[in-house]
Amino acid sequence: MKFIDGGVCAAQGFRAGGIHVGVKTRAAWKKDVALIVSDVECAAAAVFTKNVVKAAPIHVDRRHLADGRARAVIANSGNANACAPNGEENAERMCAAAAAAIGCAPEDVLVSSTGVIGQTLNVQVIENGIPELCRTLVHSAEGSDAAAHAIMTTDTVKKEAAVETSIGGKIVRIGGIAKGSGMIHPNMGTMLCFLTTDCDISSEMIREALLEVTRVSFNRISVDGDTSTNDTCLVLANGLAGNPSITSQGADYDAFLEALRALCVEMARRIAADGEGAKHMITCTVEGATDEAQAERIAKSVISSTLTKAAIFGADANWGRVLCAMGYSGEAFDPDKVDVSFISAAGSVAVCAQGRGLDFDEEAAKRILTEHDVTIAVAMGEGNGACTCWGCDITYDYIKINGDYRT
């Protein structure tokens, strides 16, 4: 298995594009509608937000995925189409317009939106832009790049990756694009992520794989503790790689799962690193927990702690905030067994052993925490459970960005 270029167009038979149609009225230079199309029908699956308040596209996608099949994805940025008049009608209109242009049933098109909540989506400009959007569709890295930029909101960089592996003697590729910078908190995916693959795999098995992979990737990131109304992670598999069809668990399924997991973990890390206003990416590793579930809950609590995030922003080795976050995680453990270290490219420093503070070089600790990528390493001494979660610091810029998000 290796990483390759191409994003959502890395796999055979997928074309993508993105243009500006006018959903983003204050930024005419920004692309705001993306389209991803397979040459043939696909097995499809998706995982959605657990927020009780769900955007209109999610309700539409649930209906369209009832048969486990799809052909295309259309997505807009600049408007969430959530809690807005005519939300589902407008989402269905997006699907119908895309379907008419590419020659499939509206039910074979999935739809996503991201942006401001509560405002009516100007679906007319999207419908008017579909012909031009279809003309931009290409099976190339450029097509994936355009689509990746078209779904960005406050993101500062596009999130795009692809992997290649061998299954049943055939080369199989999986690619993806994602957006996410704010309203990111572990509870499914808390972002938009579109995955494509040429693997021949059944709808049932692709859904099983997606559920497993989101659990250990997108569910383990946090930026600000807010779970979005629009979170969607979906996958299309068109089978053009020609591998023996995967219809049950086994060696071929395991190979596909490994590649999908590697891709989604990389995408999740990129989302965490691009948190709104972030200056540092935070990785929290927990080892020695009673089991993986306990390790995960504790690591999530640490990366979600506002005080811990603020300490990392200030390059302050305030390890007590780490123990505090562990303590309110809801997990029972012995604090007198806990060790904590801070690690980065500048070195490592042990700051706590057996639940007690150590004498350490504050200047060395500051140098370590000044690096962009910082790891908080926790050892619990309880068992063999381990987990890694990802987040970012919180900065003044986060407040600036979200204080005037609508303007």
Domains and CATH numbers, the chain: 2-273 (3.60.70.12), 281-403 (3.10.20.340)
Cα 285 from Cα 269, distance rounded (Å): 14
DSSP, res 201: B
Question: Which neighbouring-strand residues pair with 36?
Answer: 16, 73
Cα 30 from Cα 12, distance rounded (Å): 28
The whole-number pLDDT of residue 116 equals 87
Cα 312 from Cα 225, distance rounded (Å): 17
The whole-number pLDDT of residue 160 equals 97
Structure-token pair, residue 284: 């929290």
**H/E stretch holding 64:** helix 56-64
Cα 230 from Cα 56, distance rounded (Å): 8
Q: How far apart, in Å, are the Cα atoms of 172 and each of 2, 148, 165, 402?
A: 11, 22, 5, 41
CB 9 within 8 A of CB 148: no
From 49, 136, 165, 190, active-site residue = 190
**H/E stretch holding 174:** strand 170-179
Question: How do beta strands 159-167 and 170-179 pair?
Answer: antiparallel
CB 219 within 8 A of CB 267: no
Backbone angles phi, psi at 342, to 5 degrees: -110, 135
CB-based burial, 85-94: b 16+ in 10 Å, e otherwise: eebbebbbbb
Neighbours of 35 (CB within 10 A): 28
Task: Classify 285 as helix, strand or coil.
Answer: strand
Give the CA-trace dihedral at 321, 327, 329, 331, to 10 degrees: 150
Residue 190: active-site member: yes
Residue ranges of the binding site: 153, 179, 190, 276, 402, 407
Residue ranges of the binding site for substrate: 153, 179, 190, 276, 402, 407
CB 57 within 8 A of CB 111: yes
DSSP, res 26: T
CB 401 within 8 A of CB 154: yes
Per-residue pLDDT of the chain (407 residues; tens, 9 = 90+): 999 999 999 999 999 999 999 998 777 789 999 999 999 999 999 999 888 889 999 999 999 999 999 999 999 999 999 999 999 999 999 999 999 999 999 999 999 999 889 999 999 999 999 999 999 999 999 999 999 999 998 787 899 999 999 999 999 999 999 997 644 444 433 479 999 999 999 999 999 999 999 999 998 987 644 466 778 999 999 999 999 999 999 999 999 999 999 999 999 999 888 776 678 999 999 999 999 999 999 999 999 999 999 999 999 999 999 999 999 999 999 999 999 999 999 999 999 999 999 999 999 999 999 999 999 999 999 999 999 999 998 877 677 766 665 55
Q: Which of 32, 365, 400, 40 is nearest to 196 (CA)?
A: 40
CB 267 within 8 A of CB 178: yes
Structure-token pair, residue 324: 């505090």
Task: Classify 128 as helix, strand or coil.
Answer: helix
What phi-psi label fits residue 289: left (phi over 0), alpha (psi between -120 and 50 degrees) or beta? beta
Contacts of 344 (CB under 8 A, 6+ apart): 368, 369, 370, 371, 373, 374, 375
Cα 179 from Cα 150, distance rounded (Å): 9
- The residue with tokens 């991803």 is 36
